[in-house]
Structure 1
């Protein structure tokens, strides 16, 4: 059963990117569709930032680090109070993480960490990922239902990335709470008192990672923290100690929040029309296609911010130097010029992926294959253990206030028959 094209009611064509509009939070794809057709490069407000929704324009931004640098966080995502800015002045919050460096520094850093995400490393980690997924589902099976997001989609990728970094199991929820506050400061404008609370949390988070890196410098282990600590100790380091802290601060949400919401969004789409879920249960060979369609149709990462380095023209629109642009990678997957029947979630698509869910160009996602593996294992585990799973009666999806960065559910309640 195909879904009809969703209506665009609730989106003002004159202001498609109104972050205060609950319709945008629930379904940003309506805004992307309006903007792609009329203004594929447009300012979100009168003085920017600029939002880019066209496929060609998005590709142009992401493949040109000279005009569109990813070194975007030198002043914070949003303006902060003087008290908050002073508190963060000596932290690495404003430091551009090495993942976001321009070439050639970016390539040197990627070469340092690529092995942790290589096919060989993923093959080595796959049994542990499967064991974690199975253990999480085993805790649920005797219950009549659960919030699949908080009980499964959240803890699975958290365990995986913490294993890769080297964060001990007993520290993980504390580290995640700190990182939630760091993420809030990156994606949303906050009131002054919340800015201060989050800033203090960010400092605790930084202190924890500094201590972890120092411990790994003295006693190396088989983890990413040890790799970064060793690099920072070199006389001509690929990354300094501050770079290493900034890298870990950015890697945790990049590898956790994104996969959490990719899994939850994909399961939601499969269960919205239960014939899709039944097809996946009957034929596990469809699961890779389901993951890829989840990435195309309702990916968790919405946009990639860039800073314009010189006066430039994009899609026929003049953009001044110093402006921030958001290349909306999530819009590309719904572009009818690149994807047939883009507004329908389908398991029978063939050919190359019609999306930029993992970015495009030199800063394409380091953990793309890890995210695919985790999502595939998640769906395989759920299909095996909970084949009769369905959305909880009366479920009305509520969404994160993720701005132009994240799109995901606040909860995903499901039920299943129990013996």
Structure 2
């Protein structure tokens, strides 16, 4: 097999799967606007360039922010036949269409909604620790962060506990279909299964029309004081898309923060044991160092020059937030760990501008509660002997395959 060169960025394979920062560092210094034939897009790696793009939605449209499943090869589209066409989502929409959809999400992920989930967060964290704690060893991805986040985000959406695993399997299928680098045969099987997912969402929406609750699905079908009900197409696209966006990013943020805390002879873990108030700072520095979402796309609406590169109208751009967050021109000692970094909140892990992640408060709260519970229940937690981090093969996300710990 031909070895992938440093300049041929592909986060699905080595060496970029294990360490994308080699490419990021090279690109920022040598080619900050770097063309990728595999993606047919320019990758943008410098902080100032990415900030320019996200703060100018008129020039850099979000119409292609994430791929859609309808851009797949013919055999995949054949398997998708019969599904509702994807409509609008807050991520892929510009103004004026963006604002009404954003209102829906601002309500769904408001501080009040987040606070309503605190008891469920604490209960789920303790349930999972009860299940694995007698073994004196655990994988905090598979046995803790993944099932914890799956349940919390499902409850926000209105998905009952007994359906969480089923909906997660469909969510994985949906994410696979939007991955431009995934094998076609797997996509065909995923496309076939999505018909059942559509039927499930339709049934859930019908139930909420008759039995409204304090959940996201009820928001979509009934609307609230400051926004109307959404269309059927919008309902499906927003439900599917936000369900996967709210899971992987939070899971990966949590395990990256725990790896940071338990490394370096558990220095940050010991600091947090003594003072829980440092956890928000740990979480922000983790977001900066290891942005859980690799990046989003934009498309130019006119010819524009960016960092010396002329980009014609219609040029696709991939904004690599993980690279921007380690840009030497913005953050001192960017590869180091400093939980007292004065400008840490300038990181772009949750985006910026009108498209800043509406679920960021929920994600930060989920991670804080989960780590607080581990600190309370397993203060002697440490990385398992011989553990070496390995990362998932993902176009969208940067996260650990496992996090093996002992106590």
Q: Pick one of 20, 38, 51 that aligns with 1:59.
A: 51
**Residue 380 of structure 1, CA deviation:** 0.8
Cα distance, 1:313–1:365 mapped onto 2, change above 3 Å: same
Which aligned pairs between 1:159-198 and structure 2 lie closer than 5 A? 159-198=151-190
Structure 1 residue runs of 4+, over 6 Å off? none
Q: Pick one of 332, 336, 351 that aligns with 1:359.
A: 351
Q: Pick one of 372, 380, 388 that aligns with 1:388.
A: 380
Deviation larger for 122-131 or 173-182: 122-131
Asked if structure 1 preserves the Cα contact closer than 8 Å seen for 2:88 and 2:233, the reply is no
Q: Pick one of 89, 104, 116 that aligns with 1:97.
A: 89
Q: 1:242 is matched with which residue?
A: 233
Asked if structure 2 preserves the Cα contact closer than 8 Å seen for 1:308 and 1:323, the reply is yes
Q: 2:218 is matched with which residue?
A: 226
Matches of 2:20 and 2:306 in 1, distance apart? 22
RMSD of aligned alpha carbons: 2.3
Matches of 2:65 and 2:48 in 1, distance apart? 25
Asked if structure 2 preserves the Cα contact closer than 8 Å seen for 1:182 and 1:201, the reply is no
Q: Deviations over 1:183-217 (max 9, x none)?
A: 11223423332121011122222221121111111
Q: 2:398 is matched with which residue?
A: 407
Matches of 1:50 and 1:221 in 2, distance apart? 44
Q: Secondary structure of the residue that 1:337 maps to in structure 2?
A: coil
Matches of 1:280 and 1:225 in 2, distance apart? 37
Cα distance, 1:312–1:239 mapped onto 2, change above 3 Å: farther
Which aligned pairs between 1:86-235 and structure 2 lie closer than 5 A? 86-92=78-84, 94-231=86-223
Q: 2:263 is matched with which residue?
A: 272
Structure 2 residue runs without a partner (length 5+): none
Structure 1 residue runs without a partner (length 5+): 1-9
Q: Deviations over 1:283-310 (max 9, x none)?
A: 2221111111110111211111122233
**Residue 22 of structure 1, CA deviation:** 0.9
Cα distance, 1:243–1:65 mapped onto 2, change above 3 Å: same
Matches of 1:333 and 1:268 in 2, distance apart? 18
**Residue 99 of structure 1, CA deviation:** 4.1
Q: Secondary structure of the residue that 2:353 maps to in structure 1?
A: coil
Q: Secondary structure of the residue that 2:155 maps to in structure 1?
A: helix
**Residue 346 of structure 1, CA deviation:** 2.4
**Residue 21 of structure 1, CA deviation:** 4.1
Asked if structure 1 preserves the Cα contact closer than 8 Å seen for 2:67 and 2:180, the reply is no
Asked if structure 2 preserves the Cα contact closer than 8 Å seen for 1:16 and 1:35, the reply is no
Matches of 1:160 and 1:47 in 2, distance apart? 33
| Residue 298 in structure 1 maps to residue 290 in structure 2 | yes
Matches of 2:83 and 2:57 in 1, distance apart? 26
Asked if structure 2 preserves the Cα contact closer than 8 Å seen for 1:301 and 1:406, the reply is yes
TM-score calculated relative to the size of structure 2: 0.92
Q: Secondary structure of the residue that 1:267 maps to in structure 2?
A: helix
**Residue 113 of structure 1, CA deviation:** 3.0
Cα distance, 1:338–1:77 mapped onto 2, change above 3 Å: farther
Cα distance, 1:285–1:167 mapped onto 2, change above 3 Å: same
Asked if structure 1 preserves the Cα contact closer than 8 Å seen for 2:289 and 2:325, the reply is yes
**Residue 93 of structure 1, CA deviation:** 6.1
TM-score calculated relative to the size of structure 1: 0.90
Q: 1:45 is matched with which residue?
A: 37
